[in-house]
Structure 1
Amino acid sequence: MRAHRIALWLAVGQLACSPGRARTSSSPEPAAPVVVPAPTRETPRAIEPPPTVTVVSPPAAVEPTTPQVDATLIEGPAAPAPASPAQHARLLDSPEDPEPKLRGGIVKELEDVSYIVGNEWSLDAFREVITGLGGGYVGVGPDQAYLMMGWQRPEFAWLIDYDPKVMRVHAMYHALLRHCGSRKEFLAAFEPEATDAIAEVLDDAVADDRVRRLYRNNRDMFRWRLRSIERKLARRRVPSWLTDDETYVFVRELVLGGRVRALRVNLLDDLGMVGIGDAARELGVVVRVVYVSNAEEYWEQYAPQFERNLAALPSDARSLLLRTRLVWQVNRDYVYNAQPLQDFLAWLAAPGVETLEDVVGPKPPAQRDRINFVLTTARPP
């Protein structure tokens, strides 16, 4: 059954941040389907590449080149002290957006579909540019944030998504981070023999019994995702919360210290992101990383509210927007793109800028034998 479900998930390909409908009955929480774009002449295959990087000046797209990335562990700062009661209360006080009536997808067939695991396999492409940035983290998706937090070492983190099922995934992870003192214990929590014991832990830790059902009915999917990331990053010698004990401890202590909040936020709505910006300012935190996955590929053009939402976040010259662009038929992965957040805001404010291609140019040619990373530094004319 496990092999069948994973094969089915791969057969249709998944997009990292497309959402789905919440369930309120006792029916199983299904694993997330995935999508593969229209076939090309190239045959997809799995890769274990070194990272690549290029600097792009829109609108031209250029071939990535290979940087020298030191993947050896340099121990980062320890987690900050637990949030004070006042800090924690302010973190939890900002509003959420209402659940949308229909959640988008990169194609119509994927509207209103849930994704309880990510499928971006080379998020370590961002590691070099976010390591040690500190500040605040704001990002979408079910599991990407835990990798990012381990590298960025933020003071506060807001884990956002407009799918309530993704909120339950975060509730599950947070309960298990509290329960599991080491990364080995955490990973073992998704092994078959741990199912009954961990379901009991979740029953005791989380009031919503849908979290327990989510774990029971999708444990094999979570295990596959986490173990796959662990193996890939171990082979690349990249420290992360799944491959390095010290990094796991940092992420765990950040959660236990009341400095991480998961909340329902729609990038195109007018409450959640603005509220995060207000909270960050009152907490004295500059948002240094905003991760939107491939959300921009869902939109025909940018909405004014998206610009207002990003502008509402306190940022500085070191703040980055991280995005991905789908190249599934090339390497079953994405192009990973980082851009200074203030540069991106300048592009959004420029006359005639309406689409992602207006900002960063056409999707650069991806190479199947390596990780494709693009750093965009050009400012609008």
Structure 2
Amino acid sequence: MQNSKYRIRLLIVLALCFSLTRVWSAAELPAQLTDEVFWQLVTEFSEPSGRFPSDNFVSNELATQRVLSELTKARKAGGAYVGVGPEQNFTYIVALQPKIAFIVDIRRQNMIQHLMYKALIELSSDRADFLSRLFSRPRPSNVDKNSGIGALFDALSPIQADQQMFDENLRAIKDRLIKEHGFKLTSEDETTLGYIFRAFYVGGPDLGYSNVAFQPRSAGPRLLPTYEELMIDTDENGQQRSFIATEENFLTLQQFEKDNLIVPVVGNFAGSTALRSVGSYLREHNTLISAFYTSNVEQYLFMTSEDWKNFYTNVSTLPLDSNSTFIRPLINTGNGYTASPQFRPTFHWDTVLFPIADLVAAFNAGMIENYYDVIQTRN
């Protein structure tokens, strides 16, 4: 009789432990997302696409890496990354090693571009293969996995783009996304995908920020950096740390993509859905924001009386702690930082880190009235 009671108690304890384990597991972020869950997050978190005057094929900020040593110093991997824009996010993701990343951009074209990258990165065997596919140029024969990033571009740049490769690569991208992953792209999405991929085909390593950069470098001087210049740039200590600077970096990024852990979302920073949905998801999974790369979006938000307030209200709903950090590129005129997004030849970018919690505290205290108040919130 006692043995029977003991067995019953043991079974109850084991059942409770199993139940608690299941509850705890449900609260933790998964190591990878299924295709169905990934696409559900993309679609349910997204807002209607907004407008922006440029294509943003590549970043226009030649200072992305200049803060990586400071950003990663004494910072453990984990948490969540939130960003905006195209490929610069990959460099931050590789450096920070978050558990999940959300790219929130007002343009649906940016979401489609990230899906293009996802397919290409998953399909590629190494960096040289990736660049060959991205620019639709035959892979150079004189490079290998140990080649430096500068050597990769030196070998690739003289090679002419190939129309047949472009057609085959575009078909492979669509097949990967639609047939293998099962993502439900619209016909308009497919047209946008072709438009983006053709920009890389035409521009090659000289491709820049907007469609005016379809013109090769030989057409004249540029105000903004090329894809190649961004990839071979260095951090504040002179070390090349872009997502394709080393084979290790690329393979790290590739695993993120294969695990469906880089989720592109269409959303306005000041909108009512995207950022709040990301925040709710992270709270449900006990995950704090590690870093939030804003680009210079805030300069545009301060052009209206309400957008910046809505953005900081959204930020205040995110799961934060004292280590949560804004990665904020600032335009330096030589006489200080400007609130205008207009970039001139004599200006340069500075990438600066700001504690998110300090901004939220200042905003809630009514201490933020303009862009200059924002950039005063750094410790």
- TM-score, structure 2 length as denominator? 0.66
- Residue 45 of structure 2 aligns to a residue in which SS? coil
The answer to whether the 8 A contact 2:42-2:264 is kept is no
Shift of the 220–146 alpha-carbon distance from structure 1 to 2, 3 Å rule, reads farther
> Residues of 2 paired with 1:303 and 1:230: CA distance?
32
2:330 maps to 325
The answer to whether the 8 A contact 1:87-1:283 is kept is no
- Residue 278 of structure 1 aligns to a residue in which SS? helix
Runs of 4+ in 1 over 4 A off after TM superposition: 84-94
The answer to whether the 8 A contact 2:71-2:353 is kept is no
Shift of the 142–280 alpha-carbon distance from structure 1 to 2, 3 Å rule, reads same
> Residues of 1 paired with 2:286 and 2:40: CA distance?
11
Q: Deviations over 1:94-137 (max 9, x none)?
A: 4212223xx3xxxxxxx543322211111112212332442101
Match of 1:99 among 49, 54, 60: 49
- Residue 376 of structure 1 aligns to a residue in which SS? coil
Task: Say which is worse superposed, 166-175 or 233-242, in terms of deviation.
Answer: 233-242
1:227 maps to 228
The answer to whether the 8 A contact 2:325-2:353 is kept is yes
When Rg is computed on C-alpha atoms for both structures, the one with the higher figure is 2
> Residues of 2 paired with 1:91 and 1:288: CA distance?
20
> Residues of 1 paired with 2:322 and 2:367: CA distance?
24
> Residues of 1 paired with 2:241 and 2:271: CA distance?
35
Shift of the 90–353 alpha-carbon distance from structure 1 to 2, 3 Å rule, reads same
Higher RCO (CA-CA < 8 Å; seq separation 6+): 1
Instruction: Tell me how far 1:284 sits from its aligned partner.
Output: 2.4
1:259 maps to 261
1:198 maps to 169
Q: Are 2:238 and 1:236 aligned?
A: yes
Corresponding residue pairs, total = 276
1:360 maps to 375
Instruction: Tell me how far 1:286 sits from its aligned partner.
Output: 0.9
Tell me the amino acid that sits aligned with residue 360 of structure 2: L
Could you tell me which runs of 5 or more consecutive residues in structure 1 were left unpaired when the two chains were aligned.
1-79, 104-110, 362-374
- Residue 55 of structure 2 aligns to a residue in which SS? coil
2:338 maps to none
Could you tell me which runs of 5 or more consecutive residues in structure 2 were left unpaired when the two chains were aligned.
1-29, 138-160, 179-188, 207-225, 333-342
> Residues of 1 paired with 2:166 and 2:36: CA distance?
37
1:312 maps to 317
1:209 maps to 190
Instruction: Tell me how far 1:236 sits from its aligned partner.
Output: 3.2
2:152 maps to none
Instruction: Tell me how far 1:264 sits from its aligned partner.
Output: 0.2
Q: Equivalences for 1:112-261 in 2 at 5 Å? A: 112-131=53-72, 132-189=76-133, 190=135, 191=137, 192-193=161-162, 194-207=165-178, 208-210=189-191, 211-221=193-203, 223-224=205-206, 225-233=226-234, 236-261=238-263
Instruction: Tell me how far 1:282 sits from its aligned partner.
Output: 1.8
- Residue 204 of structure 1 aligns to a residue in which SS? helix
